Amino acid sequence: MSKRVAILLAEGFEEAEAVIVIDILQRLEVDVVTVACRPMRQVASYHGLNVTADHLLAEVHTTLFDAVVLPGGPQGTVNLAANPQVTDFIRQHDQAGKWICPLCSAAARVLGGNRLLRGRRYVCSGDLHQTVDDGVYVDAHVVEDGNLISGRGLGVAFDFAFYLAWRLTGKKEAINFQAEHIYYDSWRVPE
């Protein structure tokens, strides 16, 4: 049975982070569902790219996915953090032990801003970690702690996506093949 991942999109989301994660996960046969965290399925990204999400958050709010991905984007993460439906959705998945996967500013703004890090180690972009007091900042590209996988930002989105694919599927050979296939020579499944 294929793993299912929800990617939460709010106005101002970082489109490259979202698309890289979608691409890598789909290459590895993970079912990816984009979720608009607003009243309409059309969501404008950080750089004005209009994306039509698969579902509204209201339509899937009771569905449990294997992972929830939160792309960054300055305004996107502010919008995610301010939406009580988003924090409830994350909390529901976290309590069920599902993967919670913020990229870039999402760990600090969405999780830290809503006290959802719960003492876990994480990474985020820039100096946003200085505003967070319920998690432990780690200076790394990708950090896993319990069911939390966080990525520093756009520059490590491929590392983040391959790492998440590995933790979801365990398909080491398929993941390494895909990394080689796209000429991403700096990443392989950890030994």
State pLDDT tens for residues 4-41. 999 999 999 999 999 999 999 999 999 999 999 999 99
- Strands (E) in 37-177, as ranges, are 42-44, 50-52, 55-56, 67-70, 99-102, 121-122, 136-137, 142-145, 148-151
Residues contacting 59, CB < 8 A, separation 6+: none
Report all structural domains of the chain as residue ranges with CATH numbers, in order of start. Answer: 4-181 (3.40.50.880)
For residue 1, pLDDT over 80 is answered with no
pLDDT above 90 covers what percent of the chain? Answer: 97
State pLDDT tens for residues 85-106. 999 999 999 999 999 999 999 9
Q: What is the pLDDT of residue 145?
A: 98
**Predicted confidence band of residue 191 (pLDDT cuts 50, 70, 90):** confident
State pLDDT tens for residues 132-155. 999 999 999 999 999 999 999 999
